[in-house]
Structure formats: structure tokens, C-alpha cells
Amino acid sequence: MKAVILAAGEGTRMRPLTEDTPKPLLPVAGKPIIQHNIDLIQDFVDEIIVVAGYEIEQFEEYFSNTSVKIVEQEETQGTAHAALQARDLIDERTLIMNGDDIYGSSIKQIKEHETAFAAARADNPENFGVLDTMDGEVKSIVEKPDEPPSDLVNIGCYLVKPRFFELLEDVEISQRGEYEITDALSMYIAEEEVKILETDEWLPCSYPWQMVEANSSLLENIKQSIDGEVHETAVVKEDVIVEEGAEVKEHSVIEGPAIIRSGAEVGPDAYIREGTVLHENVEVGKSEVKNTVIREGSAVPHFSYVGDSYIGKNVNIGAGAKTANLRNDDATVRMAVKGELMDTGMRKMGAIIGSEAKIGVNTSIKPGRKIGFDASVDSGEKVGKNVPSGRTWKDGGVV
């Protein structure tokens, strides 16, 4: 059995996090999205093929010392076109997976079938492709129906025979201007008896706030491992990973689950709360960080609070800066994505800050706001709207 992972998209809904990193390589719970799935399947597939396009060089570098093959989708023309790029390498049953979804361990059971689609239960199936099933078999896929035939939704994971890659050739361009893999799936269902595999866990990573949710969920599975330097006055509670080369300084408190990667420095007097991942060479001084991913080289050095947020690489959070994560009216936080204000469904949601951003001292950022790649915020500001990449927020607005 082979595996094809579709990872070529630009991830525009995930901006600004994807300004410098392809979405499947964004880390959650200490490793890239795509790696979580590779770890699940590597024991039962003989070859893994990644279809990449946007920032393909980063995939080539990441997989340079592995047996993973990279094939290129030169133009983004949809998921069917992406899967088609691997056709010349397929001569047996193949597992096709989205590169921006994380699947639970039950996905391994798919190998027990000749051909099958994975699915998950959804509270809002009308927002997805819905599977119409009978006696454990898929009868059809209906895209975003007003009246869903079930609450089982397509989660982008399929075990198919080589014939499926021939059907991809017959897919016509959709109204969106793309070649959709669901059209090939519908043709395949008409030819094959396709079993349904209902999964125990599915973590979609399409929007920035889902990165925070997925990170928190996956950290629940870690076990304590203390290999770095922890000062005798520091306190480490519950399941915390402190990697070799990390340092936890005087009077700091870390409450798990949390991961402190090699080269990170915590404290003195830092408070790291549950759900936090500090990546390589991150510095957190006398500040509080809760349920947040902070990527390589970023710093929260002095008297700041960062909660329920996702922070890119080489970001500096100035002294006294705060990310607010709770609305005064206690409603769920909304976030603008590609011009549309969307409900995150999260009561607590902080900021999304792109790599290379600079946040001035004594700044407060309202819940659900995004600070763009290489953007900056002047000191003493209240950020009430998103700050585009490369721009500055000063005197209450973007300049």
C-alpha cells in the first residue's frame, strides 16, 4: 500500500501564519501537521508521496533525510489535479490524505478494507461534504447540502484502487474554477463497493483558531519527560516535556500539558500554563503564557500575558503587552478570514501573530485579532482590528 498526502495549497485562510510556512508544515503539539499523519501510517504503508507546490523547497528540506517522495503541483488547480500528479507512481492500493487535517489512531483500521472512505460525525454537517451511507457502505457524497442525509462528513481520507487515478483524468473544472476530488470520488462510488470508516478523532486545520484547538487537544496525549535543566526552585506540574538543551530558571512554574523545546529559556519567574508549546530558542521571562504555540526565536521577555494564541517565528512581544482572550459580553470570539467575519466557536481566543512581527510595550490586543507577517504595533496601543502584513499600527489605526 502507498500513501499520497495532498499538501500543495497556499493556505490563504490561515494567513498570516502561512506567509512564511506552508500550512502542512505549521507545528501543533510540537511537530508539523503533516508529521502527525505520517507517524500514524508509516508502519503499514510502503511508500509515502507528498504532493507539494507552495513553498515546495521547505518540504524538500524537511523530508531531505527520509524516504518520502515529493512531487510538484506546479499550478494550484484543485485537489483532483493535485492527486493526479502522483499517478505515475501508483500501481497498488493507495491511501489519499489531506495534508492539513489531523486524524485519530483509528485511521489505521482503514487498511483492513479493500477500499474505504474515512468519516467523522459533525454537529454542522451542512458545512461539509456529507456521506450518504447504507449498511456500512458509501452510496454518495453531497457537498454542503441544505438537508444533510446524515451527520457523517467527508474528512479527506480515502483508500482507493489504482483505477481511481484514471478517474481523476475525467474530472471537469468546477464552478469554483478547480478540479475537485469529490467529483472523482462520486465516479468511484458508482463503480466500487466503498466501505465507511468512522474515526475516533478528526482535527481539521483550515483556520487559525483551529491550530490553537488542535494543539490543546493533542497535548493531552503527552507524557512527562524532563531532559533539560530545571532550577531547584522551579515547579513542574503534570505532564511536561522539557527537552535536552532547554532551561527552566529560578522560581518559574510550568503546568502541563506543555512542551519546552531545546534551546528555549523559561524565566526567571515565568508562569507557563497548560496547552503551551515553546519552540526552539524561544525566550519567556517574567511573563505568563497559557494555551499558546510560540514558534522558533520569538520572545516574551518582560511582564506580558499571552493566552490562547498562536505566535510565529522571531516575534518580539514588548514589555507589558497583553493578548486579551475573552469578550466582555462573554460571547464566542469572531475572527476575520478573507474579508468574512467568522465565529470561531471559542469562548476564549487570543491573537494570531505572524512571523517577524514586533509588538510594542504596554500594547493590548483585542480577542481574535491578527497581526500580519513583519507587521509592527507602536507602544501603548489598543489593537482593535487586524494589522496587515508589513504594515504598522499607530495612533489607533494602520499607517
pLDDT, tens only, 306-336:
999 999 999 999 999 999 999 999 899 999 9
Question: What fold is seen in the domain 218-398?
Answer: UDP N-Acetylglucosamine Acyltransferase; domain 1 (2.160.10)
As a whole-number percent, the residues of the chain with pLDDT over 90 amount to 89
Is it the case that residue 175 has pLDDT exceeding 90? Answer: no
Is it the case that residue 251 has pLDDT exceeding 90? Answer: yes
Average pLDDT estimate for 353-359: 98
The helix (H) or strand (E) run that includes residue 290 is: strand 283-290
User: What pairing do the DSSP bridges indicate for beta strands 334-337 and 340-343?
Assistant: antiparallel
As a whole-number percent, the residues of the chain with pLDDT over 70 amount to 100
Residue 288 contacts by C-beta under 8 Å, 6 or more apart in sequence?
270, 271, 272, 273, 304, 305, 306, 307
Q: What distance in Å separates the CA atoms of residue 367 and residue 347, rounded to the nearest whole number?
A: 10
Over the stretch 363-372, which tens digit does the pLDDT of each residue have?
A: 999 999 999 9
Half-sphere exposure of 144 (CA within 13 A, CB side): 1
Collapsing DSSP to helix, strand or coil, 132 comes out as strand
Q: What distance in Å separates the CA atoms of residue 39 and residue 5, rounded to the nearest whole number?
A: 13
Q: What distance in Å separates the CA atoms of residue 272 and residue 294, rounded to the nearest whole number?
A: 12
As a dihedral over the C-alpha atoms of residue 359, residue 365, residue 369, residue 372, rounded to 10 degrees, the angle is: -10
Is it the case that residue 6 has pLDDT exceeding 90? Answer: yes
Which residue in this structure is represented by grid cell 516574551? 300
Measure CA 373 to chain center.
17
Of 113, 231, 251, 302, the active-site residue reads 302
Supply the mean pLDDT for the chain. Answer: 95
Give the closest residue to 243 by CA, choosing from 261, 258, 230: 261
Give domain 2-206's CATH superfamily: Spore Coat Polysaccharide Biosynthesis Protein SpsA; Chain A (3.90.550.10)
Q: In terms of residues, how long is the chain? A: 399
Alpha-helical regions (H) of the chain? 33-41, 56-62, 79-84, 163-167, 181-191, 208-219
Give the closest residue to 274 by CA, choosing from 289, 286, 295: 289
Among positive and negative, which fits the CA dihedral 113, 116, 117, 120? negative
Measure CA 390 to chain center.
23
Boundaries of every domain in the chain: 2-206, 218-398
* b/e burial code for range 239-262 (CB count within 10 A of at least 16 → b): bbbbbeebbbbeebbbbbbbbbbe
Q: For the whole model, what pTM was predicted?
A: 0.95
- Amino acid identity of residue 13, one-letter, is R
Q: According to the model, what pLDDT value does residue 24 have?
A: 97
All three cell numbers of 174: 468546477
Q: Point out which residues pair with 371 in neighbouring strands.
A: 353, 387
Q: First vs last Cα of the chain: how many Å apart? A: 54
Average pLDDT estimate for 263-289: 98
Higher pLDDT, 136 or 270: 270
Of the pLDDT bands very low, low, confident and very high (cuts 50, 70, 90), residue 8 is: very high
Contact 115, 135 (CB under 8 A): no
Instruction: Establish whether 302 is a catalytic residue.
Output: yes
Q: What distance in Å separates the CA atoms of residue 336 and residue 388, rounded to the nearest whole number?
A: 12
Half-sphere exposure of 10 (CA within 13 A, CB side): 9
